[in-house]
Structure 1
Amino acid sequence: MAASTVIRPADLTVDAASLIADIEAYLAQQAPKTAHPLVTKTTAELVAEALQAPDVELEQTAPTLTAPSRLWRIIPDWALALTPARRLHGAGRTITVTQHLELTALVIQQYGWHRGGLRSRGGARCILGAQAVLYRLGYGDEATAEAAGKRMQNVLRRRGIDEPYHAWNDRGERELGDVLHLIREARNVSDG
């Protein structure tokens, strides 16, 4: 096992409820905004057509999450499933593989990045550990996490790397930027 390396954000002041609220805000932002459930165009597209204006593109901004408090970062991952906010907002929430990958990167940014295990004593997470946080909070299911893992694995294969992405994460020369780049590159790959 590689030596443990932890990289953490400096200001960690909120709890899992805030993390869940931020994830919910991101997911709401990603939902198509249509005038009626049977209408396939978004409201912005319909307005643009009506005004004979050029197509209006919906802004796709990356979500902003607030870092969880130290307590929420260090409790066992199974306990995340018991949080009141998870039961209220996240239980069984379906997300896409692309959303899972974006949120995985954000969990790493907020909890801190770790190599040498799923998590550090201080709560920093590796890629798999960040995926586990999302799963335990009820965002996506095993199939979503596995599909995201396959995307990351395919990106590594295209780079000529055959080791599993979780082993790649743990290599001594790996840095936070490498990990985030892999996740975000996989986010932009289609499942085709």
Structure 2
Amino acid sequence: MVATLTAPQTIDWASSLDLGPLLVAEIEAYLRSLPAPASRAPVLAPVLPVNPYGQVIHSWHHGIELPEPTLLGRIRGRRPIAQVTPAQHLDLLSRYIHQHGWLQGALWDASGAVCILGAQLRILAAGYSSPAVVERARELIGNEIGYRRERGPIDTWNDTKGRRAAEVHQLLRAAAARAH
């Protein structure tokens, strides 16, 4: 599968999702920091290996179900939100990235691959978290980066040249373990 990266778009996040002001500011700062695409060269998406002995494939949100919408919520046009802890949110991040693919230099691409921030936004938009939980999870990830004696905000850490997806999953699992 071949996907192309597109230039970051300006999105009115505050009106499209009920995001906290800190998260909105962080997203905008990250989008401004991205360089303009040098060319329209295709980027090959990673292909996950297939287990020859078979495997039950679960969705990234398996085990955490959305509550049924209330009548008042339907009238107001609100989607239900699953109440998750920051540790569960970090686990969902790792599962989402594993299922859709990991990306550097953009929030997401046409094939569905995401960076850490892009995965958080997708999970939030799907109703599996709240802005407060997302902000707490980002604090935990930042703390874990600090424990590893690495520097920079999460998005810079994600986009560091030579970074591997396995390191992202290890970081998310370690941050979730410390959250318990």
Band of TM-score, shorter chain? 0.5 to 0.7
Are the equivalent residues in 1 in contact too, given 2:86–2:179 (CA < 8 A)? Answer: no
Deviation of the 1:6 alpha carbon: 4.4
Deviation of the 1:7 alpha carbon: 3.1
Q: Say if 2:150 is the partner of 1:113.
A: no
Matches of 2:47 and 2:140, distance apart in 1 = 26
Matches of 1:182 and 1:136, distance apart in 2 = 23
Q: Say if 2:140 is the partner of 1:176.
A: no
Consecutive unaligned residues in structure 2, runs of 5 or more: 1-33, 38-42, 51-57, 66-76
TM-score (normalised: structure 1): 0.57
Are the equivalent residues in 2 in contact too, given 1:8–1:111 (CA < 8 A)? Answer: no
Are the equivalent residues in 1 in contact too, given 2:64–2:82 (CA < 8 A)? Answer: no
Deviation of the 1:26 alpha carbon: 1.4
Are the equivalent residues in 1 in contact too, given 2:86–2:134 (CA < 8 A)? Answer: yes
Indicate the structure (1 or 2) with the bigger Cα radius of gyration: 1
> Among 135, 142, 145, which residue is 1:146 paired with?
135
Q: Specify the alignment match of 2:46 in structure 1.
A: 7
Q: Specify the alignment match of 2:19 in structure 1.
A: none
Matches of 2:170 and 2:149, distance apart in 1 = 16
Q: Say if 2:16 is the partner of 1:27.
A: no
Are the equivalent residues in 2 in contact too, given 1:94–1:140 (CA < 8 A)? Answer: yes
1:46-75 CA-partner distances (Å, limit 9, x unpaired) = xxxxxxxxxxxxxxxxxxxxxxxxxxxxxx
Q: Specify the alignment match of 2:93 in structure 1.
A: 104
Are the equivalent residues in 1 in contact too, given 2:97–2:119 (CA < 8 A)? Answer: yes
Matches of 1:125 and 1:8, distance apart in 2 = 14
Q: Specify the alignment match of 1:124 in structure 2.
A: 113
SS at match of 1:113: coil
Matches of 2:80 and 2:170, distance apart in 1 = 29
SS at match of 1:163: coil
Compute the RMSD of aligned alpha carbons: 2.8
Are the equivalent residues in 2 in contact too, given 1:6–1:114 (CA < 8 A)? Answer: no
Matches of 2:146 and 2:46, distance apart in 1 = 26
Matches of 2:89 and 2:100, distance apart in 1 = 16
Letter in 2 for 1:141: S
Q: How does 1:54-69 map to 2 (within 5 A)?
A: none
Letter in 2 for 1:92: I
Consecutive unaligned residues in structure 1, runs of 5 or more: 12-17, 29-86
Deviation of the 1:91 alpha carbon: 2.2
